[in-house]
Amino acid sequence: MQHIHQVAQRARLAPRREPYWAPLSKGRHVGYRKMSENTGTWIARFYDDGTRKKTYKALGDFSLLPDHQRYDLATRAATQWFEHISRGGLATVTTVKDACDHYVTHQRRMRSEKAAHDAEQRFKNYVLNDPKLAAMDLAKLTPSHIAAWRKALQDKPKKNGKPRSDSSFNRDMTCFRAALNLALEDGFVTSNFAWRSKLKPLKGVDRRRELYLNINQRRTLIAHAQADLALFLRGMSVVPLRPGALAQLQVARYDPRLQTLSIGNDKAGRGRRIALPKTTAKFFEKLCKGQPETAPIFRRADGKAWNKDAWKHPVSDAVIAAGLPVGTTMYTLRHSTITDLVQTGLDTLTVAQIAGTSVRMIELYYGHLTREHAKTALATLAL
């Protein structure tokens, strides 16, 4: 054992590859590797009684600090690492980039390629664009690091130069928080202290969608839309899917024998099958008849599938022509159809399954409608 805690004693050590070790407790040592006359680096060594294996971690040279402070800092860093391992943390160093990559892989395996791509792009644009943060050891993250990242994200404008909305900010921040939480769950880090209070979403951002179109208004919108768009709008009015999910449906997804629509993995992260009523089934059957299985069910005039860029302006034109409220969008149709399903008294679990969302989200946005049903039901109990 060498007395490496004193500057004068470290200066007298001969340079060598093997570190000079000092015990901190049983199985836990801090070491100093003398590189040359006046330089050296610090290392931690952990011995596991169960596996009888030694694990090492480079701590750095602490060259920015005075010589007399380096041993104390090395000891503190080593102790933090020992505690990390003893709580079940991994012995290998995991960076912020590693955590992001791990989350993308998890999304690809557990949800869908689309969900993985979405997360990957968010990390690329808002997390990994900071090389210093990307390379940081998760165990060394502090609340101040996360607070600085959060402020930079809030101040960062969108790609089109417009200010970032609160809902957009919440989505990008939530993705990063999910990656860090998964890293905690899988043992890459043993505490969420760095981000626990700094990555809370802004409150009151995702309010209920108030704009609702009744059936007559929906019919009016469809009547004022161009022919190919009118079919798509009708599809949105009879099946409460997300516009993107409906646009991606191919002919093979409709089973005319069972009159069912098979939905692949969408934003909800799981596939499902919807049984269609006869009128709606005939509508889908007509669209699919004579078409190859890979053709989109809802096609533009040129045969291509719809997408957000393709429907945005035509929908706006139809809204104006129909004299409907400003702000009516494709999502207004989804909201309106879900509202109708809830108002008929259909249970929230079934509504959530059809719409491809969670019961929690249905109750959050449409719970006020179910409360009216409950009130009516209770009225029948009056004596």
| Length, in residues, of the chain | 383
pLDDT at 2: 62
pLDDT digits (tens, 9 = 90+) for 49-87: 777 888 888 888 888 888 889 999 889 888 877 877 776
Whether residue 236 contacts residue 337, with contact meaning beta carbons closer than 8 Å, is answered with yes
pLDDT digits (tens, 9 = 90+) for 237-257: 999 999 999 999 999 999 999
Other CB atoms within a 10 A radius of the CB of residue 217 amount to 17
Exposed/middle/buried for residue 186 (C-beta within 10 Å: 0-12, 13-18, 19+):
middle
Q: What is the DSSP letter of 214?
A: -
pLDDT at 120: 93
pLDDT digits (tens, 9 = 90+) for 258-269: 999 998 755 555
pLDDT digits (tens, 9 = 90+) for 127-156: 999 999 999 988 788 999 999 999 998 888
Report which of 218, 247, 167 is spatially closest to residue 335, judged by C-alpha positions: 218
Please give the torsion angle defined by the CA atoms of residues 120, 126, 131 and 135, in that order, rounded to the nearest 10 degrees: -60
Per-residue pLDDT at 378 exceeds 70:
no
Instruction: Tell me the C-alpha distance between 335 and 345, whole Å.
Output: 16
pLDDT digits (tens, 9 = 90+) for 299-318: 999 999 999 889 999 999 99
